[in-house]
Amino acid sequence: MNAAPEHQRILLDVADLDRRLAQAERARTQPTQSSRINELSALRQEQLRELTALTGTREDARTELVRLESDVKVAEQRRARDAERLAASANSKEAQALEHELASLAKRLSDLEDAELDVMGRVEDADAAVAAQQALIDATTAEGTQLTVQAKADVAAATELIAQLGRDRAAVAAPVPADLLAEYTRRAAKATGAALLTRGTCEGCRMVLSSTDLNDIRRAEPDAVIFCPECGCILVRTEESGL
């Protein structure tokens, strides 16, 4: 294949634009925040499961506290009723029985109140644990939201850049003959489509060409399209090639 040297040099600009297009496409499809956003999403799910467990523990404690409060109320009402009966009783045997029951009620109330205080402490601890866990969730959510906003902005910027680079590429590649551009495109699908030959080194794969290959390139006509024997890209010769 033959092509004018100036058209071959244009391929270097096309290759640079393609490299920038590939970078922009990665930025559009794989924003830098994605990894952390995924981590935060998994972390938030774990934190929500922990919150559910802590909330369940708190509700159990609250239910137990309500039961104890009800038991205390019933015991107090019974003690008040027995005290009234004792005050009105003229029967010594009945009075003795009431006094015994009042003593038992006093012990029960004391035990219930101790248990009530213990459960109230557990409720308080559970409230604090739920609040602390919710704070963690809120912090995780806030970070995730911020990163998502940044990612959307980066994706939008990359999308705009891709459109601009696409227009630039079309304009730059316009003078290149169709067959040369097609050859470049075919090779670019696998690796670098075109690269500069600099002092005997292919800038596409960074391989130093053998003296035999360099001698073959030296003997080639200026308009001959040369391919790198290592990576297969179109080797563009300039005064920097060291030939």
Asked which of 17-26, 85-94, 115-124 is least confident by mean pLDDT, the reply is 85-94
Mean pLDDT of the chain: 94
Domains in the chain, ordered, with CATH? 5-24+175-241 (1.10.287.1490), 27-173 (1.10.287.1490)
Q: What is the pLDDT of residue 154?
A: 97
CA dist 94 and 71 (Å) reads 25
pLDDT band at 8 (very low <50, low <70, confident <90, very high): very high
Query: Which residue did the predictor score with more confidence, 219 or 87?
Result: 219
pLDDT band at 98 (very low <50, low <70, confident <90, very high): confident
pLDDT band at 93 (very low <50, low <70, confident <90, very high): confident
Query: Which residue did the predictor score with more confidence, 95 or 210?
Result: 210
8 Å CB contact between 243 and 24: no
Q: pLDDT tens for residues 207-224?
A: 999 999 999 999 999 999
Length of the chain: 243
CA dist 116 and 108 (Å) reads 12
Element (DSSP H or E) covering residue 134: helix 92-173
pLDDT band at 94 (very low <50, low <70, confident <90, very high): confident
Contacts of 195 (CB under 8 A, 6+ apart): 12, 15, 202, 203, 204, 205, 228, 231, 233, 234, 235, 236
Q: What is the pLDDT of residue 86?
A: 81
pLDDT band at 193 (very low <50, low <70, confident <90, very high): very high
Q: pLDDT tens for residues 37-69?
A: 999 999 999 999 999 999 999 999 999 999 999
Q: What is the pLDDT of residue 242?
A: 74
Burial 5-22 (b: 16+ CB within 10 A, else e): eebbebbbebbebbebbe
**Selection from 234, 226, 239 nearest residue 14 by Cα:** 234
Q: What is the pLDDT of residue 185?
A: 95
